[in-house]
C-alpha cells in the first residue's frame, strides 16, 4: 500500500517527468549543418561537408531520398556526361557554373562509383548510365551518409526559417524547432510536382532578399493546336533522327511523335531554348539535300509517286502523312522545279509553331531560379547571408539533356560542402 507521503512524492516525480518529456519534444535541437532536400545536390553536399565532430541533418519532405535519381534514365540513372562543361548550361550568367564544374568533374563521380564497385556504361554522346540501375546510386549515397554519421529525416516538413541575431538559422519543422550555423537549400525546382516538387527554394531565397529569375519548364515535350495535334497524334509512336533548331541553336537527335504533340531527345533539348510564340525548324533528312534528292528521283524514278520516293528515306507513315497534309501526290515526272523546292523546304526546313509545352507536369528541369548574382560561384553561399547556401536545380543554372543536370547537382553540392567543411577547420 502507498502512503500519502509516498503518493505525493510519486505525483511530484511523475509531473516532473512530464515536464522533462515535453521539454525534450519541443527543445531546440542544434546542428552544425542542416540541408533541406535529400536529392542529388543535397546528399552530395552532406557527404562533402562531413567531418567526425560535426552534426549534419538532411531533411526530406518525401518518403524516400533521391526521388528524381530513382526515375532518371528510365531507371538506369544517367548520372553524368563526360562532355560536361559550362557551355552545356543555360543561365543569365553563363560563366557562373565554371568554378564548381571544374572542381568536381564527371571523373570524380566515377571514382565514387568505383569505390562502391558500381559498373557503368556510355550510351551515346558522353552519357553515362549505371549498370545496376538507379537504386544502386541512391544506395551508394545513403551508405556514404551512414558512414559519415549524417542524420537523414524523411517525411519532415519545414514551416519557417529565420536568421538568428547572433548568427545561424532557426527552423520550425514537423520534428520541432531546429537551429544550425549553416543552412543549405537543395529542394530543386518546380518540375514534376507529382513527385513533390514545389517552389520552396524560391520562397526561401526571396525571404532573404535574393532575386529569383523567371522560371519555366525545361526539357519538356511540345504541344500543339487542333490541326497540328491531329497530325502528330496520327503518327504517335513514329521516331526518327532529325536536326531541330530554334534561332541559332540546333540539336541532332531523335524526335518522337505522340498523341499530345512532339517529344524525343531533340525536342526536349530545344524546348529549353524556345519561348512561347516562336517557331522551331526541323530537318527530317539531316544527311540529305532534299532538293537534289528529289531532282535525282524525278530523273531516275519518273513514274514513282512522291509518297513512294519519300518512303525510301522516311518512315512510311510519316511519308504518307506529309503528302496528305502538305503535298498533292502525283508522279515525280509531273513535278515542276518550284514544286520540288516547296517539298524540299518542308523536308529540310519544316517550320512548326508549338502552342505550348506539357509544362512542369513532365518537364525534367526548371529553367531559371535563384539569381546567381546573389551567390558565390566558388562556395554557393549567399553573398549577403553568412552560412546560407543554395545548390542544384533551384539555382539559375540548367543543363542540357543527358546527365548534365546531375553533374551540376554533384558539383554545386560538392562546392558548398567543401566550403562549409573548410569554414569549420579554418
- Domains identified in the chain and CATH numbers: 31-215+367-425 (3.50.50.60), 222-357 (2.40.30.10)
- Compute the residue count for the chain: 426
Q: Quick one: average pLDDT of 338-356?
A: 96
Quick check: 247 pLDDT over 90?
Answer: yes
Helices (H) and strands (E) in the chain, counts: 14, 21
Residue pair 217/358 in contact (Cβ under 8 Å)? The answer is: yes
Quick check: 19 pLDDT over 90?
Answer: no
Quick check: 229 pLDDT over 90?
Answer: yes
Q: Cβ contacts of residue 158 below 8 Å, gap of 6+?
A: 36, 59, 61, 171, 172, 173, 200
pTM of the model: 0.91
Of residues 28 and 261, more confidence is placed in 261
- Give the pLDDT score at 27: 52
Residue 366: Cβ within 10 Å count: 26
Q: Quick check: helix, strand or coil at residue 30?
A: strand
- Give the pLDDT score at 425: 83
The mean of the pLDDT values for the chain is 93
What's the grid cell of residue 389?
547556401
Q: Quick one: average pLDDT of 176-202?
A: 96
Quick check: 24 pLDDT over 50?
Answer: no
What's the grid cell of residue 11?
505525483
Quick check: 12 pLDDT over 50?
Answer: no
Residue pair 171/58 in contact (Cβ under 8 Å)? The answer is: no
Quick check: 3 pLDDT over 80?
Answer: no
Task: Give the model confidence (pLDDT) of 139-188 as tens digits.
Answer: 999 999 999 999 999 999 999 999 998 899 999 999 999 999 999 999 99
Question: What letter does residue 395 receive in the DSSP assignment?
Answer: B
Quick check: 243 pLDDT over 70?
Answer: yes
Q: What is the DSSP string of 270-323?
A: HHTT--TT--EEEESSTTS-HHHHHHHHHHH-TTSBHHHHHHTTS-HHHHHHHH
Q: Cβ contacts of residue 284 below 8 Å, gap of 6+?
A: 240, 242, 314, 318, 347, 348, 350
Tell me the pLDDT band of 28, cut-offs 50, 70 and 90: confident
Tell me the pLDDT band of 23, cut-offs 50, 70 and 90: very low
Task: Give the model confidence (pLDDT) of 75-111 as tens digits.
Answer: 999 999 999 999 999 999 999 999 999 999 999 999 9
Burial class of residue 393 in the structure, from the number of CB atoms within 10 Å of its CB (0-12 exposed, 13-18 middle, 19+ buried): buried
Amino acid at each position: 500500500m502507498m502512503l500519502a507521503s509516498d503518493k505525493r512524492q510519486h505525483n511530484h516525480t511523475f509531473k516532473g517527468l512530464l515536464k522533462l518529456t515535453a521539454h525534450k519534444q519541443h527543445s531546440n535541437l542544434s546542428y552544425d549543418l542542416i540541408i533541406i532536400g535529400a536529392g542529388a545536390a543535397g546528399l552530395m553536399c552532406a557527404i562533402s561537408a562531413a567531418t567526425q565532430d560535426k552534426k549534419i541533418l538532411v531533411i526530406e519532405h518525401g518518403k524516400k531520398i533521391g526521388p528524381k535519381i530513382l526515375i532518371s534514365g528510365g531507371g538506369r540513372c544517367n548520372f553524368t556526361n563526360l562532355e560536361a562543361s559550362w557551355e552545356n548550361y543555360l543561365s543569365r550568367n553563363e560563366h557562373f557554373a565554371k568554378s564548381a564544374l571544374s572542381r568536381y568533374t564527371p571523373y570524380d563521380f566515377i571514382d565514387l562509383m568505383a569505390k562502391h564497385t558500381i559498373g557503368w556504361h556510355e550510351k551515346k554522346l558522353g552519357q553515362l548510365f549505371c549498370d545496376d540501375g538507379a537504386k544502386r546510386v541512391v544506395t551508394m549515397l545513403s551508405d556514404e551518409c551512414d558512414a559519415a554519421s549524417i542524420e537523414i529525416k524523411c517525411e519532415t516538413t519545414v514551416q519557417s526559417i529565420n536568421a538568428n541575431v547572433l548568427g545561424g538559422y532557426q527552423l520550425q519543422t514537423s520534428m520541432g524547432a531546429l537551429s544550425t550555423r549553416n543552412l543549405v537549400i537543395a529542394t530543386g525546382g518546380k518540375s514534376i510536382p507529382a513527385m513533390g516538387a514545389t517552389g520552396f527554394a524560391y520562397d526561401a531565397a526571396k525571404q532573404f532578399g535574393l532575386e529569383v529569375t523567371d522560371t519555366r519548364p525545361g526539357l519538356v515535350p511540345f504541344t500543339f493546336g487542333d490541326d497540328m495535334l491531329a497530325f502528330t497524334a496520327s503518327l504517335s509512336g513514329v521516331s526518327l533522327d532529325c536536326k531541330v533548331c530554334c534561332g541559332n541553336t540546333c540539336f541532332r537527335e531523335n524526335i518522337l511523335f505522340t498523341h499530345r504533340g512532339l517529344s524525343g531527345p531533340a525536342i526536349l533539348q530545344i524546348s529549353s531554348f524556345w519561348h512561347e510564340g516562336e517557331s522551331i525548324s526541323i530537318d527530317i533528312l539531316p544527311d540529305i539535300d532534299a532538293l537534289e534528292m528529289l531532282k535525282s528521283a524525278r530523273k531516275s524514278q519518273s513514274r514513282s509517286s512522291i509518297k513512294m520516293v519519300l518512303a525510301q528515306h522516311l518512315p512510311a507513315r510519316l511519308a504518307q502523312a506529309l503528302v496528305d497534309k502538305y503535298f498533292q501526290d502525283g508522279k515525280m515526272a509531273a513535278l515542276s522545279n518550284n514544286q520540288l523546292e516547296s517539298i524540299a523546304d518542308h523536308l529540310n526546313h519544316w517550320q512548326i509553331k508549338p502552342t505550348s509545352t506539357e509544362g512542369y507536369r513532365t518537364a525534367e528541369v526548371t529553367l531559371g531560379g535563384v539569381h546567381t548574382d546573389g551567390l558565390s560561384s566558388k562556395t554557393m553561399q549567399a553573398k549577403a547571408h553568412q552560412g546560407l547556401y543554395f545548390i542544384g536545380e533551384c539555382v539559375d543554372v540548367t543543363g542540357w539533356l543527358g546527365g548534365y543536370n546531375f553533374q551540376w547537382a554533384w558539383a554545386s553540392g560538392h562546392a558548398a560542402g567543401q566550403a562549409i567543411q573548410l569554414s569549420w577547420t579554418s
